[in-house]
Amino acid sequence: MAVVYADLRFARSPAQEPPTTDLSQIYGEWEVTYENVKPLREQGERREDSSTPVLRRWLHRFSAVHSPYVTVCLMPICLVLLGATIRLSVDLSQMSHLHEEIAGQFEKLQEDHRALNATLLDTILQKEQDLQGKEEMLIKTRAELEKTQNLLGTSRGSNTDMNQRLEATVRQRNQLQSDLRDCQMDLQRKMVELGETSGQRTSCQNELNSCRWDQGTINNHYRQSQSSVADKSKQLNTAQGNLAKAQWELQNVKNNLKETERNLDEIRRSDAQKGKNLLALQQQWSEVQQCVSVSCKNPSNAEIGPYNDPFNYCPDVWQQIGDQCYYFSNESKYRLASEIFCRGTGAVLAKIEESDDILKEMITKSSRSYWIGLKKVEHSNLFHWSDNSKQ
């Protein structure tokens, strides 16, 4: 935009009189003229001035005549515009203040919205985690329930097997009782035939007592088996009513079943040993009968054998004292272990009395032998078993 500087010189022309208009009266009686005014665009406007001199003159005349009116009109317009500008400024400031308040409320609402979203998100995540935990717990509970049901079915099958084994044990016991009755009948016949051989009869009576003791032991094991079976039935009934304690009860049932199996194995071993003892007893009776027939025919042979015993039937490593056979161990054992060892060999653990001087002398002479299961009490000078029971 070009800025034009003009040298305005106002002069009063004396040749001309002021026009008879109101404007001349207000602003002066002299006519205002312009001298030495450089045109804005000398080269470009010369042609325009030359081409349109009428318009140029008319504009100059209009501006000269109406400039006071234009100035008077522009003043209120400027005032109105100034007032409007001030009013708009005030409205703009109010709108700015209102905009700031609305922006602050909007930011606060956004923060509340974000906080609410975070809270809702945390709540949703927590509920999802709780739901997953409950689903996992439900799956575990179902698995434990299935496992408990399987274990319960297994325990029922084990109980059925145990009942079958118990029935087999009862049948074996009845068979042993029948064999024992037959053995007693045979022993009675032999005792009638061998009334003169009291030593052999005493030995047979001792073996019969051993068989009775074994029978009592079998009865005790049978009672223990019955009691253990009753306990297992109670435990199974309790397991059906309360699944929460099923594992612990099933573990007890397993332990009891193992103990019962051990007892049954021990009963089987003892039954097998009983059969061997019965066979040995029958063989001994046959040998005794033969020896009796021989001794009756040849009385001169009655004093043959150690300790004047014509029937030297003790096996190897065993020693015969009187009418009985003794085994002297060179191992130190407790009473229970010694009793199990003796039962395994078909013998009975001997309780040494104070009057058995022969045995005492033999034990004293043997440096590798032990007084099995006995210990000497100093204050009473007696021999007690390892469980403090008296001899």
Average pLDDT over residues 335-363: 69
Structure tokens at 237: 């009934």
In whole angstroms, what is the distance from residue 68 CA to residue 72 CA?
A: 6
- Which position has the higher pLDDT, 52 or 337? 337
Average pLDDT over residues 298-323: 57
Average pLDDT over residues 356-381: 56
| pLDDT-based confidence at residue 90 (cuts at 50, 70, 90) | very high
- Which position has the higher pLDDT, 391 or 227? 227
What torsion do the CA atoms of 242, 243, 248, 254 make, to the nearest 10 degrees? 100
Task: Residue 282: name the closest of 186, 172, 155 by CA.
Answer: 186
* Residue 277 · residue 347 · CB < 8 Å: no
- Residue 5, pLDDT > 50, answer no
The DSSP symbol for 136 reads H
Q: What is the pLDDT of residues 249-270, one digit of tens each?
A: 677 778 778 877 877 777 777 7
| pLDDT-based confidence at residue 377 (cuts at 50, 70, 90) | low
pLDDT at 163: 84
Average pLDDT over residues 270-294: 74
Mean pLDDT across the chain:
72
- 123 lies in a domain? no
| pLDDT-based confidence at residue 85 (cuts at 50, 70, 90) | very high
pLDDT at 381: 56
At which residue do the structure tokens 């203040």 appear? Answer: 97
pLDDT at 68: 73
pLDDT at 337: 77
- Which position has the higher pLDDT, 376 or 218? 218
- 197 lies in a domain? no
Query: What three-state secondary structure class fits 366?
Result: coil
- 155 lies in a domain? no
- Residue 372, pLDDT > 60, answer no
Q: Please, which residues have CB within 8 angstroms of residue 238's CB and are 6 or more apart in sequence?
A: 245, 249
At which residue do the structure tokens 């052999």 appear? Answer: 200
Half-sphere exposure of 329 (CA within 13 A, CB side): 16
Per DSSP, what are the bridge partners of residue 324?
Answer: 321
How buried is 137 (Cβ within 10 angstroms: 0-12 exposed, 13-18 middle, 19+ buried)?
A: exposed
Q: What is the pLDDT of residues 103-160, one digit of tens each?
A: 989 999 989 988 998 898 888 999 899 999 889 999 999 899 998 888 888 888 887 8
349-352 long-range CB contacts below 8 Å, 24 or more apart?
349/373, 350/326, 351/391, 352/383, 352/391
| pLDDT-based confidence at residue 294 (cuts at 50, 70, 90) | low
pLDDT at 13: 44
**Domain carrying residue 15:** 1-20+32-38
Q: What is the pLDDT of residues 9-66, one digit of tens each?
A: 444 444 444 444 444 444 444 444 444 444 544 555 555 545 457 777 777 777 776 6
- Residue 184, pLDDT > 50, answer yes
- 293 lies in a domain? no
* Residue 281 · residue 207 · CB < 8 Å: yes
- 384 lies in a domain? yes
In whole angstroms, what is the distance from residue 243 CA to residue 256 CA?
A: 20
Q: Please, which residues have CB within 8 angstroms of residue 190's CB and are 6 or more apart in sequence?
A: 204, 285, 288, 289
- 387 lies in a domain? yes
pLDDT at 89: 92
Q: Does the model's pTM come out above 0.85?
A: no
Q: How many domains does the chain have?
A: 2
- Residue 346, pLDDT > 80, answer no
In whole angstroms, what is the distance from residue 251 CA to residue 158 CA?
A: 13
In whole angstroms, what is the distance from residue 315 CA to residue 312 CA?
A: 9
Q: Please, which residues have CB within 8 angstroms of residue 354's CB and are 6 or more apart in sequence?
A: 383, 391
Burial 297-332 (b: 16+ CB within 10 A, else e): eeeeeeeeeeeebbbebbeeeeebebbbebebeeee
- 210 lies in a domain? no
* CATH code of residue 389: 3.10.100.10
pLDDT at 161: 83
DSSP-based helix, strand, coil % in the chain, nearest 5: 70, 5, 25
246 alpha carbon, distance to own chain's centre: 16
Lowest mean pLDDT among 14-28, 122-136, 207-221, 365-379: 14-28
- 343 lies in a domain? yes
